[in-house]
Amino acid sequence: MNGASSGGGGGGGAGAGGDGPLVYQRWKGNNVFVLQGRFIFGPDARSLYVTMFLIIAPASIFCLFVAKELMNNFSYGLGLPVMISAVVFTAYDLSLLLLTSGRDPGIIPRNAHPPEPEGLDGNAEVGSNQTPPMRLPRVKDVVVNGITVKTKYCDTCMLYRPPRCSHCSICNNCVERFDHHCPWVGQCIGLRNYRFFYMFVFSTTLLCLYVFGFCWVYIVKIRNSEQITIWKAMAKTPASIALLVYTFIAVWFVGGLSVFHLYLMSTNQTTYENFRYRYDQRANPYNRGVVENIKDIFFSAIPASKNNFRARVPVPQEQGLRPRPTNGFMSPNMGRAVGDIEMGRKPVAWDEPRMAADIGDLGAGLGNLLEDKDGRFRSASPDLSRDALAIGGLDDQGSSVMNPGRTSWGVEAGR
């Protein structure tokens, strides 16, 4: 189930009365939730069916046409462990696949409001009675192990991304220690599932080697038992030939991926950083040596998720206030009344008698200005008062009309 979340869903807290929507029902990312928010997948989660088929189908063929025959050919009951090992190995591989794709990869909850600006923009020209604009810096410097690292502001999530965090355009989330988005598992690979991702890839490599090896064992046994050539023995078991070709091709893919990620782990890089040549010209602040880097991946505690997808969405206490993304620029007063002007002008108190009197004076003044010596325009004064009504900020229905050339700070829009 897809849904939009009003607050990004941090840790918990029930809404008023406990009857509000759940976080996963209002989730703003592109994720797919299963079992009422207990499992979270990427928007391309259907690719899991393809991946599972590519694992289960050859494993089933191996058990039916190779391992079963080996049970009859092996002496001392050694053929039975081959069958059991294949089944257990396949189940283990599928479990790692689900652990990789069905858990929170390290999503950072979105902010309901942009962060408060830390300084003033001194380049803007403002009047004495106007508040100067405040600008959010696009990049901040953070020191990691004595090396300065730049962190970027995310307009979508309205937060400064922590180091090594990136926004996945497929899932539409900021993910900690973002490695890549894997279409084969239908999920981002990040801080909380990278360990399981590598174990899945590596175990798939071992499963391919296991099937490949015992297919050859079965062919050799046929050759030895019937005293024929290896080619004739291969012709007697077409299932083994198909598995040999399949696993030979697959092992280059998953095996190469295992070796590549082993290199990334030993140097403490992510795929995203490696593809962008992050550390070709400067030092890697996260590299602590091969042993420490490997320990950091496999022997450190996995951080708890920052999202409680089954919690209630907190209901804001002030229903009239609503946050809006500002693309890095913001007013100190983020809350706006529901009836406020969308373009950002400050609300003005409504005084109907006073406004009517002002409009009448404005209409009379405009009528005098437009009257020529023949008096032809005097009758236009009432209509012009209606035009003045729209110009002055009200339409025929009495609603406010914004002059699009001005911002809430009194400076020209777009500067």
CA dihedral 59, 64, 67, 73 (to 10 degrees): -170
Q: Using the 8-state DSSP alphabet, how is residue 16 labeled?
A: G
List the catalytic residues.
Answer: 182
What is residue 159's three-state secondary structure?
Answer: strand
Distance CA 118, CA 330 (A): 11
Instruction: From 171, 172, 200, select the one nearest 187 (Cα to Cα).
Output: 171
- Let me know: does 41 contact 31? Beta carbons within 8 Å: yes
Burial class (CB in 10 A: 0-12, 13-18, 19+), 62: buried
Main-chain phi, psi angles of 309, to 5 degrees: -70, -20
What is the distance between the terminal CA atoms of the chain, rounded to a whole angstrom? Answer: 42
CA distance 180 to 178: 6
**Exposure pattern of 324-360 as b/e (b: 16+ CB <10 Å)?**
eeeeeebbeeeebeeebbeebbeeeeeeeeebeeebe
Half-sphere exposure for 245 (CA within 13 Å, toward CB): 5
DSSP assignments along 56-117, one per residue? HHHHHHHIIIIIHHHHHHSGGGTHHHHHHHHHHHHHHHHHHHHHHHSS---BPPPPSSPPPP
Cβ count within 10 A of residue 127 = 10
The SS3 assignment for 193 reads coil
Are 271 and 257 contacting, i.e. CB atoms less than 8 angstroms apart? no
Q: Residue 283: exposed, middle, or buried by beta-carbon count in 10 A (0-12, 13-18, 19+)?
A: exposed
**Beta-bridge partner residues of 232:** none
Structure token pair of residue 337: 């009344």
